[in-house]
Amino acid sequence: MNPIDLLAGLVKIYSPSQKERDAVNYLVAQMSARGFRAFVDEAGNAVGIFGDGAREIVLLGHIDTFHGYIEPRIEDGKLFGRGAVDAKGCLATFVAACARVRRDDVRFVIIGAVEEECATSKGARYAVTQYKPEFCIIGEPSGWDRITLGYKGRVLIDYAIEKPMTHTASGTRAAAEDAVAFWNRIAAYAAEYNRGKPRVFDQLDPSLRFINSNDDGFTDGTTLRIGVRVPVGLTIQQVEEEIAPYANGGRIEFSSEEEPFRAGKNNALVRAFLAAIREAGGVPAFTVKTGTADMNIVGPAWGCPIVAYGPGDSTLDHTPNEHLELAEYERAISVLSCVLKEI
């Protein structure tokens, strides 16, 4: 099976978070057919090991996708479908590139990790306990000629407040108003922190995910969820300690806490990518992302040279128009093959 058929077959299998098993089984079968020692691990990840060397290189991508089915199709050299960019295109790039490279001193470990999109990162958290790589490549769309070095951190905030019902003419603030005031305090805190920081990657970025207000005739209640993207330079604990006093009688729960992470670029892995992109006719560039990825989990734990790389335009992530240019996919396979030979 050629690389395009490999990717098209993977994208055809709809695999939103916590429903990845069919896609996992498909990827394991495809890796086995290419000579990998492939299996499903205890977390449910698809794992393929290629080569027998003592040096370990981990290529970690996520096999789950954002929810929302997109009919897979190829049109005008583009593969449309959920996960084509985020991040099955990256996983297929890993498999195709590793299959082209065999080295006696290296063991390539490809991991199709589960539950990245639903913020539990179950697959990556398990992988951290199983491997000790010399180098790690995270499968996230960067574009074939770009290298991603960092991601913001994240914390989710669930806020709930309940109050006895009062008449609207009483002058008492309703639960919904208290909840809005809580959101406004967080927005003001972020705006103050961001003063003088023009680059989005350096900013504290809150977003109001949902708000729900209801009453049963006796109790007035409002809940809301806020996501906060945390820049390098702040810790999750600092953000939570700042926000907690804003509750004003409400209840706060923090979850999905991931620290921000930025990797170094003065290492053999980065140099290999720069050389490979130039050899393919590109002008390499570094980028950082305002989202969060499995790099935030494995990067600090493994402490090895690490980058995120993969074909595709990340602005198409989670969109109804998600698609991957197949020519770019082929170029990314060539670049990654060169990198794996070099490192």
CA-to-CA distance for 187 and 205, rounded, in angstroms?
Answer: 8
C-alpha distances in angstroms, 159 versus 99, 137, 193, 250, 294?
A: 49, 36, 22, 7, 26
Per-chain mean pLDDT for the chain: 95
Check residues 201 and 166 and name the one with the higher pLDDT.
201
- Which pLDDT score is estimated for 201? 96
User: Active site includes 64?
Assistant: yes
Has residue 263 got a pLDDT over 90?
yes
- Stretch 255-282: mean pLDDT: 97
Quickly state the pLDDT bin for 212 (edges 50, 70, 90).
Answer: very high
User: What secondary structure letter does DSSP report for 199?
Assistant: S
Let me know: does 145 contact 93? Beta carbons within 8 Å. Answer: no
- Stretch 182-206: mean pLDDT: 97
The single residue of 64, 145, 317, 328 carrying the catalytic annotation is 64
- Which pLDDT score is estimated for 168? 64
The single residue of 115, 116, 178, 322 carrying the catalytic annotation is 116
User: What secondary structure letter does DSSP report for 304?
Assistant: S
User: Active site includes 71?
Assistant: no
| 285-288: long-range pairs with CB below 8 Å, 24+ | 285/145, 285/146, 285/147, 286/146, 286/147, 286/148, 286/149, 287/142, 287/146, 287/147, 287/148, 287/149, 288/148, 288/149, 288/150, 288/151, 288/201, 288/262
Q: What is the pLDDT of residues 61-102, one digit of tens each?
A: 999 999 999 999 999 999 999 999 999 999 999 999 999 997
- Which pLDDT score is estimated for 174? 85
Has residue 238 got a pLDDT over 70?
yes
Residue ranges and CATH numbers for the domains of the chain are 3-151+260-342 (3.40.630.10), 153-258 (3.30.70.360)
H helices within the chain, ranges in order?
3-12, 21-33, 88-100, 122-128, 175-194, 236-243, 268-279, 295-302, 326-342
User: What secondary structure letter does DSSP report for 134?
Assistant: S
In one letter, which amino acid is 271? R
- Which pLDDT score is estimated for 219? 84
- Stretch 141-167: mean pLDDT: 92
**pLDDT above 90 coverage of the chain, percent:** 89
For residue 102, the SS3 value is coil
CA-to-CA distance for 91 and 294, rounded, in angstroms?
Answer: 14
Instruction: State pTM to two decimals.
Output: 0.93
CA-to-CA distance for 89 and 45, rounded, in angstroms?
Answer: 17
Has residue 171 got a pLDDT over 80?
no
Tokens of 71: 């009919």
Has residue 150 got a pLDDT over 90?
yes
CA-to-CA distance for 143 and 153, rounded, in angstroms?
Answer: 22
**Taken in order 164, 170, 176, 181, is the CA torsion positive or negative?**
negative
